[in-house]
Amino acid sequence: MPINKEKIAKRQEVKENNPDFVRPESWRYVRLQTNWRKPKGIDHHQRKQKSRGRPGLVKVGYGGPKEARGLHPSGFTDNLVYNLSDLEKLDPKKDGIRFGHSVGTKKRKEIVAKAIEGKFKIFNARVSASGSKS
């Protein structure tokens, strides 16, 4: 049951109207991936928007709605948690948690236990019930 459904739907609606931003010349060369890179050359055709038919550039105006920014696809806000005191500042009804990269297994287990007790949504639990790494 996702929360903030209308905000997520609005963000998706705006996204559908945006062009697919692809890396310039990625359609021409196999060695270039399609992920976006800004054209920076002084004579670059796409940066100068010289010819019609070229894909658009990423600009501020293509951003999504302000109220939907920072929301996880589940509708919860995405919050980094490093210790138990970070967890106490959050509200389980609207905040989801994601463990920081540097949080080890021992502390992660403690936070997971407290988060389950508080009914938090956890995005990257990565702890098994037995506790052994496999």
Reported confidence tier of residue 93, pLDDT bands at 50, 70, 90: very high
User: Which helix (H) or strand (E) element contains residue 5?
Assistant: helix 5-17
**Which residues does 22 contact at the CB level (< 8 Å), separation at least 6?**
34, 36, 55
pLDDT band at 54 (very low <50, low <70, confident <90, very high): confident
Whether 34 and 16 map to the same domain: the answer is yes
* Domain range enclosing 36: 5-68
Provide the domain count of the chain.
Answer: 2
- In tens, the pLDDT along 71-84 reads 999 999 999 999 99
Assigned token pair, 24: 């310039």
Do 20 and 43 belong to one domain?
Answer: yes
Q: Does residue 100 lie within any of the structural domains?
A: yes
**First CA to last CA distance, the chain:** 31
Q: Residue 56 pLDDT > 60, yes or no?
A: yes
